[in-house]
Structure 1
Amino acid sequence: MKIRMLVDMPEGAARNGEPWPAEGDCVDLPTAEAAHLVASGIAEEVTDAAPAEQPPAEPRRSRRKTPEPEEE
């Protein structure tokens, strides 16, 4: 599965001994691994309808709500 990275991985992060692609770069990964990155918002799937020359999409915002402070 071909994906486009939406973020830069931390300094020193590697996959199979090779550094991760930079933000905006495309890479072909096994489907399960690529799907995990897409679901995590770290990457987006690249299809024939979305050429690699397209600028990267904006990263998704987290939907996790922060707890409200308790009132006394």
Structure 2
Amino acid sequence: TPTEEGIRLFRSMDAKPTDTTNYQSLVGSLIYLIYTRLNTSYAVSHLSWFMRAPQQPHLAAATPVLCYIKPTIK
């Protein structure tokens, strides 16, 4: 699976915010890939919940999805 099992993402008051534009671009690209890689749909939809105000843990959770997709790019 493209995410760690049992990962729970939520908004935290003490987590550092991340760049909203970069996060939205990353997740938007992953949403586009859902059409060709359905096995990533749960992980990407979970990441998209935090598009409005992403924090560092949300960006860190997107990294395994990218690592999962990277070997399949031709």
Question: Which of the pair is proportionally richer in strand?
Answer: 1
Normalising by the residue count of structure 1, what TM-score does the alignment of the two structures yield? Answer: 0.29
Normalising by the residue count of structure 2, what TM-score does the alignment of the two structures yield? Answer: 0.28
Question: Which of the pair is proportionally richer in helix?
Answer: 2
